[in-house]
Structure 1
Amino acid sequence: MLKTRVITAIVLLAVFLPVTLFAPLGWFAALIGLVVVFAAWEWARLLKAGATGSIVYAVIAAIVVALSTHLPVPRPLFQAAGVFWIVAGPYVLLRKPTLAAGAWRVFLLLVGLVVFAACWHALVSARAAGVAFVLSLLLLVWLADIGAYFAGKAFGKHKLAPAISPGKTWEGAVGGWVAVMVVAGLAIALHAFEPTLYSALAAQLGVGRALFVLTVLVAFSVIGDLFESMLKRQAGVKDSSQLLPGHGGVLDRIDALLPVLPLAMLLLGQGSA
């Protein structure tokens, strides 16, 4: 299993790093479009749309993303996705409705198209702002995840959401937040690799409020992670798919990004004319 994980990680890095760092924006946009389409396919599978239905949904998601490029500005997509995560995300985690049935399944299939289109636009907009900017945005989620893993292993005692994801703890969540605060604080203080998400927030809001906004984004990265965990638990699967051997599915890799991306773009005032 470890060998498989390492090989998959190397292949992914060999594809994504050169495209992110050096390729024209159009190539990056195409690659992210492919990621979004696969994630949409997995989203439909978790909502029990069936084999054919999931493929059809992925095709529709690709069409929606393509059509959304003709929007004058992507801000309405960011706003719609943001409202979903702010309102429906916590509600679902607290009330735990059955997501793959009835009105909830229809709602999530429809809103998923907005969520994935917003994800694509946010990443492309971030990449257009610069390589350091898009990497800093991704780094926020990666740091929160890595910090939570190690802090949870070392100190985890109090379960965060035992009915949804038994392995996650409050100590781990705090550890992820601390990791983000330390790196963001250093990046702001040292003016490292600007412009980044951290420097942009500090310039617009001041350091104190920037760190508060980053705290909110870390919280929503946890909500995104738990939301997908709930989808998987209700679907009776461990991973969203086996597209990435040793790592699960695409959605498993981007679940925490889905709420963070549109909210970060909104808080920065991105996507408006």
Structure 2
Amino acid sequence: MLKQRVITALVLLAVLLPALAASTAWPFAVLTLVFIGAGGWEWARLNGLTGAGALALGGLVAAGGAWALVSGWAWQLDGVGSLWLFAVLTWVLGGALVLRGGGALWARWPQSLRWVIGVVVLWLAWGAMAVAKQRGLNFLLSVFCLVWAADVAAYFGGRAFGKRKLAPAISPGKSWEGVWTGQIGTLLLAFGWMAVDRHVALGSDSIYTVLERQLGVVGLVAGVLFLAAMSVVGDLFESLIKRQAGAKDSSALLPGHGGVLDRIDALLPVLPIALYLVSLNHG
């Protein structure tokens, strides 16, 4: 298993690094369309759609992104605050509703509605990812690393201090103590990254520097904590869907790692919400 994980990770890095290093956002946007389309296929299968239907749903997600690229609309999304506000409301209100109701509530919703939700959240995440890359590699990586830092700090904090279960019916391994240590980890990352931004020319500002400049230190702290919390919501949401479908992983597309959704679940809400936060200005 470890060998598979390492080989898969190396292959992914070999594919992603050239696109990340490209001076324009096009290569990364096109490459991630493939991954987001695969995520759409996984979403369809987890929600009762198989065969050609699942492929069609994945293709629809990718086609929506391709249209946005070809039309040039994808590069105008940065200033569409209403779109990112819609994403915030969808994840905050919808996420709270689904997680509170559990798998039983999700299963009662019409399959067609669940498919539409998948198309929307995946497309929004891809659009936000393309815009983040357009803002600069430093900005994009700072969002990615926020999610990874929250996850790593929560894992170790949960193992060391975890006592109170966060959502035992959905993800028994998660604890409230893990959530809090994850948030502390993201704050440490944020202030450390801003220090690097101030002393090293990285070509673009990180999300932390942008939030501090536009919302002040209090706004920065609140924004980082909010994003860390929403990363947990994304993780729990995918776990709920898998549990309701009786699946351990979203697929076996990434040997040793599960599926695409298993790797990007926490990013689904964080990417569009990050774009909304940086569209705000306190002054």
TM-score when normalising by structure 1? 0.93
> CA 1:155/1:101 → structure 2, altered by over 3 Å: closer, same or farther?
closer
1:152 and 1:172 in contact (8 A); partners too: yes
Q: Say if 2:163 is the partner of 1:157.
A: yes
Q: Distance in 2 between matches of 1:60 and 1:104?
A: 19
Q: Which residue of 2 aligns with 1:247?
A: 257
Q: Say if 2:237 is the partner of 1:227.
A: yes
5+ residue gaps, structure 2, are: none
Identity in percent: 45
Q: Which residue of 2 aligns with 1:91?
A: 97
1:66-77 to structure 2, matched below 5 A, reads 66-69=66-69, 70=71, 71=73, 73-74=76-77, 75=80, 76-77=82-83
Aligned residues: 270
Query: How far did residue 245 of structure 1 move?
Result: 0.4
Q: Say if 2:70 is the partner of 1:40.
A: no
Q: Which residue of 2 aligns with 1:25?
A: 25
Give SS of 2:194's match. helix
Query: How far did residue 181 of structure 1 move?
Result: 0.5
Q: Distance in 2 between matches of 1:104 and 1:84?
A: 18
Superposed CA deviations along residues 117-147 of structure 1, whole A, max 9, x for unmatched, are 2111111111111111100011100101111
Q: Distance in 2 between matches of 1:144 and 1:49?
A: 32
Q: Say if 2:222 is the partner of 1:216.
A: no
Q: Which residue of 2 aligns with 1:185?
A: 191
> CA 1:188/1:24 → structure 2, altered by over 3 Å: closer, same or farther?
closer
Deviates more, 1:160-169 or 1:63-72: 63-72
Q: Distance in 2 between matches of 1:77 and 1:26?
A: 21
Superposed CA deviations along residues 143-198 of structure 1, whole A, max 9, x for unmatched, are 01111111112222211100000011111111111111001012224525450000
Query: How far did residue 82 of structure 1 move?
Result: 2.3
TM-score when normalising by structure 2? 0.90
Q: Distance in 1 between matches of 2:58 and 2:186?
A: 33
5+ residue gaps, structure 1, are: none
Q: Distance in 2 between matches of 1:117 and 1:78?
A: 12
Query: How far did residue 21 of structure 1 move?
Result: 2.2
Query: How far did residue 25 of structure 1 move?
Result: 1.8
Structure 2 residue identity aligned to 1:67:
W
Q: Distance in 2 between matches of 1:102 and 1:223?
A: 20
Structure 2 residue identity aligned to 1:230:
L
Give SS of 1:175's match. helix
> CA 1:16/1:151 → structure 2, altered by over 3 Å: closer, same or farther?
same
Give SS of 1:38's match. helix
Q: Distance in 2 between matches of 1:177 and 1:229?
A: 20
2:88 and 2:273 in contact (8 A); partners too: yes
Q: Which residue of 1 aligns with 2:273?
A: 263
Q: Distance in 1 between matches of 2:108 and 2:239?
A: 20
Equivalent position to 2:118, from 112, 122, 139: 112
Give SS of 2:163's match. coil
Q: Distance in 1 between matches of 2:10 and 2:155?
A: 21
Q: Which residue of 2 aligns with 1:206?
A: 216
> CA 1:95/1:59 → structure 2, altered by over 3 Å: closer, same or farther?
same
1:81 and 1:114 in contact (8 A); partners too: no
Give SS of 2:49's match. coil
Q: Which residue of 1 aligns with 2:56?
A: 56
Give SS of 1:134's match. helix
1:151 and 1:175 in contact (8 A); partners too: yes
Give SS of 1:151's match. helix
Structure 2 residue identity aligned to 1:162:
P
Give SS of 2:255's match. coil
Deviates more, 1:77-86 or 1:176-185: 77-86
Equivalent position to 1:197, from 207, 214, 222: 207
1:48 and 1:100 in contact (8 A); partners too: no
